[in-house]
């Protein structure tokens, strides 16, 4: 089996989720949009040449009928590799419901045991691209990290762009960035798209900081690893129940810093993302006449450092990706 079969298979998986959910853009129904993405992604996984197990998905079996944690996906023949799979069929449900940017369909995949089994709770994260690798420390202040990254990139701090989710809990990051004169880009939702944008120079984004979902953090870490960047994280359980959930998942020290090799433990992982609405890195789904649609996808592999941008044109009447 060729590794390009796996890479392009993942592209079809995220394309399917995007094509099925994009028609709900701006229609105010985030539940329907999310369900459509899940339906499309699960169908496409049925054609993947792997024996996959969902380790980060839509929830536990009793919470999600499809793409639940523990679900087996892929063709599943004995000669096919066993893979951990992390999915977010629609990262940014509110975004698509409102017709806003940054909604994407994302998948990360690696050999069995390679992806951190993140509990569904908050995680503090900081990420940079390859140019600033070694310049971040999650235990240091935002101000110290911003100055350090600016030096690593040989930029004046006034030229550095920090991307951060617009939440009250992040006001200390925004205040610190403004104090040192850095540029700040705020986003509403979709922190996977925001995190991976800092790995590409042409986005103009240099550093991602903030607290968001832990499962999304693992997916973003797979992308950052493929890009040769750096990410650090710390779980932030807020209740005794969440701390117990960590212990039940084998996480004894919830306060330790999780480095990228803790989040993604293998050097051969894959990542794919397809834009649903426009974002910094990818255009969203575009519909044209006669039932055609265009998707824009990025597919990456950490072992080879290969990054593919795929523009695909789909005949919606004939596409096997579409769930009717």
Give the residue numbers of the binding site for Mn(2+).
Answer: 34, 58, 88, 91, 216
> β-strand 258-259 against 82-91: which pairing, if any?
unpaired
Distance CA 106, CA 122 (A): 19
> β-strand 230-235 against 292-301: which pairing, if any?
unpaired
Q: Which residues contact 145 (CB under 8 A, 6 or more apart)?
A: 126, 135, 136, 137, 207, 209
Closest CA to 125 of 217, 222, 194: 217
Structure tokens at 55: 């380790």
Which pairs from 136-142 meet CB under 8 Å and 24+ separation? 136/207, 136/230, 136/232, 137/232, 138/232, 138/233, 138/234, 138/257, 139/257, 141/176, 142/172, 142/173, 142/176, 142/177, 142/209
* C-alpha 35: how far from chain center: 18
Annotated binding site: 34, 58, 88, 91, 216
Structure tokens at 113: 């045991």
* Exposure on the CB side of residue 218, measured as CA atoms within 13 A: 31
Burial of 316 per CB tally in 10 Å (0-12, 13-18, 19+) = middle
- Compute CA distances 248 → 48, 69, 224, 244, whole Å: 31, 15, 28, 6
Closest CA to 74 of 12, 117, 32, 19: 12
Using the structure block, give the residue that is written with the tokens 């999310």. Answer: 34
């Amino acid at each position: 089996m060729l590794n390009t079969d796996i890479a392009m298979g993942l592209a079809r998986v995220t394309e399917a989720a995007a094509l099925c959910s994009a028609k709900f853009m701006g229609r105010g129904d985030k539940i329907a949009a999310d369900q459509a993405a899940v339906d499309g992604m699960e169908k496409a996984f049925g054609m993947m040449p792997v024996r996959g197990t969902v380790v980060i998905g839509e929830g536990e079996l009793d919470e999600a009928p499809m793409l639940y944690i523990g679900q087996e996906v892929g063709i599943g023949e004995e000669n096919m590799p066993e893979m951990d799979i992390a999915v977010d069929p629609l990262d940014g449900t509110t975004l698509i419901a409102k017709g806003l940017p940054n909604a994407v369909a994302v998948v990360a995949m690696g050999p069995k045991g390679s992806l951190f089994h993140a509990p569904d709770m908050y995680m503090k994260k900081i990420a940079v691209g390859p140019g600033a690798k070694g310049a971040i420390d999650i235990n240091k202040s935002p101000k110290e990290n911003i100055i350090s990254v600016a030096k690593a990139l040989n930029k004046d701090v006034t030229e550095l762009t920090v991307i951060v989710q617009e939440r009250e809990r992040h006001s200390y990051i925004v205040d610190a960035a403004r104090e040192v004169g850095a540029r700040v880009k705020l986003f509403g939702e979709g922190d996977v798209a925001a995190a991976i944008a800092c790995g590409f120079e042409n986005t103009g984004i240099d550093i991602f900081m903030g607290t968001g979902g832990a499962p999304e953090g693992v997916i973003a870490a797979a992308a950052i690893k493929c890009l040769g960047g750096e990410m650090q994280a710390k779980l932030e359980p807020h209740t005794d129940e969440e701390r117990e959930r960590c212990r039940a998942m084998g996480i004894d020290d919830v306060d330790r810093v999780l480095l990228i090799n803790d989040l993604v433990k293998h050097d051969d992982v894959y990542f794919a993302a397809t834009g649903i609405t426009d974002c910094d890195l990818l255009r969203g789904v575009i519909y044209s006449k006669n039932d055609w649609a265009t998707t824009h996808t990025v597919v990456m592999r950490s072992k080879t450092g290969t990054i593919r941008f795929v523009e695909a044109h789909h005949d919606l009447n004939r596409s096997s990706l579409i769930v009717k």
